[in-house]
Amino acid sequence: MSTNWEYDCIVIGAGVQGSFTAYQLAEKKQKTLLLEQFILPHTRGSSHGQTRIIRKAYEQDFYTHMMEESYELWAQLEREAGVKLYRQTGLLVMGPEDSQSYQLYKNNLQKNKVPMAILNRDNFSQHIPNVNLAVGDGAVVDITAGVLYADRALKTVQGQFEKLGGVIRDNEKVTDIKPGPVVTVSTSAGVYRAKSVVITAGPWANRLLAHTGLQLPLKVVKINVCYWKEKVPGTYDVKQRFPCFLLTESEETKYHIYGLPSNEYPGLMKICYHIGGETDPDERDKQTDRSDIDILQRIIARCFPGLVPEPAVVESCMYTMTPDQHFVLDRHPSHSNIVFGAGFSGHGFKFGPIIGKLLCELILGEVPSYDLSPFRIRRFQDQTKSAL
């Protein structure tokens, strides 16, 4: 076993948040080690898959504001690496016109002057063919929204990190973290020491935080990522300018349904339920709940007449949920040189560049670029436990 490699910072977890944090630290000339328990690339966490939605449409202002800069940082990475990571498709937001959620999305887009289009029942099918808008539902389009090429993005940011002199060690599971003025991190293959540590371990966050005496109110859920076959190939294709979509609620469920145009699998459209059954991240295949698929089948039969209402492919992904579905970005209450990002609740990928920037600022003691009060752990006062 190798021992006592010295770094300025160790980042644990090489998903999108950890990889961008490591990249930002390397940009700031910090000698940085990025640790990953699995062999890269892998499909066992929350950052895999070919596509994710990128959007400014949110119920909360603070996310819309953060996304302004996130778009810029994604574009900067594209330029630096000479790789295409984003495709503009627009995002169709649908929901009951008189519901609070739909109104918040619509008002927030208008208030923040995000390029948008408001559709009505008369012109809806002209702009969005092969979709049935439910009676009483409104529809708006976030025009700048689109698709991020997720696997490609992860590979790109990790490559840029290594170009800056950063070190990635995959297939190294962290077995212990000893806090102190210098933090000691033990893995299955060695022992490393650093002035500071960032924990971005997704579904495994609480297992790592336990070594530091902290537990957060996080719940890991398994999402069925479903692909639905077009009856006529090309009907919902990205090349036909079909948009991503978000259904805020429906007669079948009060939870979000989201979808992306057919792209990664030709002739198949990705449509998922934004919630899943609780699972153990190391035994996620034991969780076989398919109640979400039943709900999706009913919605697809009603709203998407051009799709076969039976999933052709079902993959899986894990979300790490917080009680309020807002992120956790904070410094450890007892160890100021340990910072963590967790609980991205199924909507964090598009924020990767900005999360990386914020976690980098926290670990370097700089003033954060954004107000972090929505993301601090003090909001969970009653639910944050000491693990000691």
Give residue 359's pLDDT: 98
Mean pLDDT score, 311-326: 94
Q: Say yes or no to pLDDT of 1 above 60.
A: no
Mean pLDDT score, 140-157: 97
pTM of the model: 0.94
| Number of neighbouring beta carbons within 10 Å of residue 154 | 23
Angle formed at CA 382 by CA 332 and CA 210, multiple of 5 degrees: 40
Q: Which helix (H) or strand (E) holds 245?
A: strand 244-247
Q: Say yes or no to pLDDT of 107 above 50.
A: yes
Give residue 388's pLDDT band: very low, low, confident or very high (50, 70, 90).
Answer: very low
Give residue 294's pLDDT: 93
* Bond from prior residue into 217 cis (ω within 30 degrees of 0): no
* Structure tokens that stand for 201 in this block: 């371990």
Give residue 276's pLDDT: 75
Query: Which residue did the predictor score with more confidence, 44 or 200?
Result: 200
* 331-381 per-position pLDDT tens digit: 999 999 999 999 999 899 999 999 999 999 999 999 999 999 999 999 998
Query: Which residue did the predictor score with more confidence, 231 or 383?
Result: 231
Mean pLDDT score, 130-135: 96
Give residue 40's pLDDT band: very low, low, confident or very high (50, 70, 90).
Answer: confident
Whether residue 320 contacts residue 344, with contact meaning beta carbons closer than 8 Å, is answered with yes
Query: Which residue did the predictor score with more confidence, 183 or 277?
Result: 183
Q: Say yes or no to pLDDT of 238 above 80.
A: yes
Q: Average pLDDT over the chain, rounded to whole?
A: 93
Mean pLDDT score, 199-209: 96
Angle formed at CA 83 by CA 112 and CA 12, multiple of 5 degrees: 80
Q: Say yes or no to pLDDT of 147 above 50.
A: yes
Give residue 48's pLDDT: 73
| 3-class DSSP assignment, residue 175 | strand
* Sign of torsion over alpha carbons 130, 115, 146, 252: negative
Gap between the Cα atoms of 117 and 142, Å rounded: 7
